[in-house]
Amino acid sequence: MRKVYHEVARLADIAPGECLTARLDDGEECVVFRTRDDRVHATGPLCPHQNEPLDLGHLEGNEVICRRHHLRFDIRTGDCTNAGGYSLRVFEVKVEDGAILIGRWED
């Protein structure tokens, strides 16, 4: 297996404090977040509580807040910070020459 990076967006596509939904090469979706301090993170697209799209949530620091029931998730770790038993998938992200890249292991 080897780590392969896939471009999902350009940094210029996301303003600080905002996010967008992106699609990986295999069709899987993720939400790419750009924090106000210019860090980029990516998570699974849905809140695990009731499948609310997280790109419709609110980004506050390093937490995305689901709009439906206000569950808060740390976008760096995927941990739910205000309720037990929930977590998000997080993706490895790097930015090179303005390209936002998601790293995945492939055969």
Q: Which DSSP state fits 7? A: E
Enter the pTM of the model. 0.94
pLDDT of residue 25: 87
pLDDT of residue 107: 86
Give the angle subtended at the CA of 40 by the CAs of 8 and 66, to the nearest 5°: 95
4 and 102 Cβ atoms separated by less than 8 Å: no
Mean pLDDT of successive 10-residue stretches along the chain, which has 107 residues: 95 97 93 97 97 96 96 98 95 98 92
pLDDT of residue 46: 98
